[in-house]
Amino acid sequence: MQQTLVIFKPSAVQRGLIGQILTRFEQKGLKIVAMKMATLSEEILREHYAHLVDRPFFPFILASMTASPVVLMVLEGVDAIKVVRLLTGATNSREALPGTIRGDFSMSGQENVIHASSSPEDAQAEVARFFTPDEIHHWTPLMTPTLYSPDGK
Ligand code: ADP
């Protein structure tokens, strides 16, 4: 099992897309193990987007990500990091395939509605950045035997 961090960006919250996007994850069979609303500080955004702070568009990212509260969640499942990135689609929403979240809900390279961890290392750091251990819930959905084979495949 893997855990991955998803942020519903202000571009999803402001447009009233939380429910529709969350449904995509639920119907895929991903387990929600943590979820909350928060207003992100510049400090945590500088840490989260450290690989982009020197890019000319970083001020736009800061303004965009602080335009409203966001919804943060941790999703769990077999290969969850890759599965969620596939559901998310390409960074530039205009190139994201139809059927993906970005492909279906957005038109921009910046206002691309959600963030999703891109590697096991990033996922571990990002979950710890936004959630304390006691905010992560350990539970077994009743549908689990209908989602995976007995050996977890
Ligand atoms: P991803 O979110 O797909 O992992 P990156 O880590 O490269 O992609 O970028 C983080 C976020 O920064 C993107 O989701 C997007 O909101 C913003 N971003 C990336 N590249 C650009 C760009 N060229 N112009 C404006 N915003 C960008």
Q: Is 115 a catalytic residue?
A: yes
Helix axes 18-28, 80-88, angle to 10 degrees: 140
**Is residue 76 assigned to a domain?**
yes
Provide the pLDDT for residue 153: 85
**Is residue 82 assigned to a domain?**
yes
Pocket of ligand 1 (CB under 6 A): 52, 57, 60-61, 91, 109-110, 112, 115, 118
pLDDT digits over 100-124, tens only?
999 999 999 999 999 999 999 999 9
Distance of CA 29 from the midpoint of ligand 1 (Å)? 27
Q: Which residues of the chain have pLDDT under 70?
A: none
pTM of the model: 0.97
For residue 148, give the amino acid letter. Y
Q: Is 129 helix (H, G, I), strand (E, B) or coil?
A: helix
Provide the pLDDT for residue 104: 98
Count helices and strands (H / E) in the chain.
8, 4
CATH number of the domain bearing residue 13: 3.30.70.141
Phi/psi zone of residue 99: left (φ > 0), alpha (ψ -120 to 50 degrees), beta? left
Give CA–CA dist 147/79, Å, rounded: 13
CB of 10 closer than 8 Å to CB of 70: yes
Provide the pLDDT for residue 101: 98
Expressed as residue numbers, the domain containing 89 is 2-147
**Is residue 152 assigned to a domain?**
no
Closest ligand 1 atom number to CA of residue 65: 16
**Is residue 66 assigned to a domain?**
yes
Q: Which two tokens stand for residue 60?
A: 């736009």
Give CA–CA dist 11/145, Å, rounded: 36
Q: How many domains does the chain have?
A: 1
Q: Which two tokens stand for residue 147?
A: 């989602």
